[in-house]
Copies of this chain bind each other. A is one copy, B any other.
Amino acid sequence: MIRNITEDTTFDAVILADGDFPTNAIPLGILNKANYLVCCDGAGAKAIEHGIMPTAVVGDGDSLPQSVREMLGERLYIVNEQDYNDLTKATRFVLANIPGAKNIAYLATTGKREDHTLGNISLMPFYKEEFDIIPTLITDHGSFSVACGKQKYESFEGQQVSIFNLSCSLLSGIGFRWQPYAYKMLWQGTLNEAVGNEVDIDGDGTYMVFRTYQRKINE
């Protein structure tokens, strides 16, 4: 069962990217309580601004002012290669330094440029496959998780749950307002919601699930 994400959810490591800094209590709680926090380059300066000293800052260092570089000292790991972006460098750093790390939270991966948002979300299934980890991308509105096969998710009545089918030719679900199927396009699996305390999904490939923190509200 994949639990709902709360501010007390714990992870083996938390990675802070350089998108919009979280404002919601849930990602902020996860950030503040992180035992092991790796920041992508410029995000290191933002963490320090918010009173949080990262375990490490990984990147090319270009986005960091000299004062922050000095404050970080040995916590700054310059990685100059161009084949991977900063999010992947940070993930590789976690895996190299916490053997067996599985549950990794990704914060501040969205906001700002939408092409980066799209790229970062699409890195989650890649990390699951490539690094055999359980990545959770956590935003101010909800969380994305990746799964293959059968999976149970904690939910609540009225929780907005979107399914993004990546490689399933068969997909079904229990506990949804509208019956899920093997969507051909990403928009088709949005606008669904949980009717109770659990939703079950079964797919013959990989899919992503987005769950909101709150019931739908008309703003």
Contacts and interface: CB of A to CB of B under 8 A. Distances in A.
A4 interface: no
Interface stretch (A29-37, A50-58, A70-78, A106-114): A106-114
A169 interface: no
Contacts of A122: 185-187
Given A113-B141, A114-B141, 4 more contacts: A42-B219, A63-B218, A114-B210, A115-B162
Contacts of A81: none
B218 A120 contact: no
Interface in A202-219: 210, 212, 218-219
A116 interface: yes
Nearest to A186: B122
Overall SS of chain A's interface: mixed
A161 to B, nearest CB: 9
Stoichiometry (number of copies): 2
Contacts of A62: 218
B162 A119 contact: yes
Given A63-B219, A126-B185, A142 B120 contact: no
Interface of A: 18, 42, 62-63, 85, 110-123, 126, 139, 141-142, 144, 160, 162, 164, 185-187, 190-191, 210, 212, 218-219
A95 to B, nearest CB: 18
Nearest to A217: B63
Contacts of A126: 185, 187
A126 B116 CA distance: 21
Contacts of A160: 113, 115
A126 B115 CA distance: 18
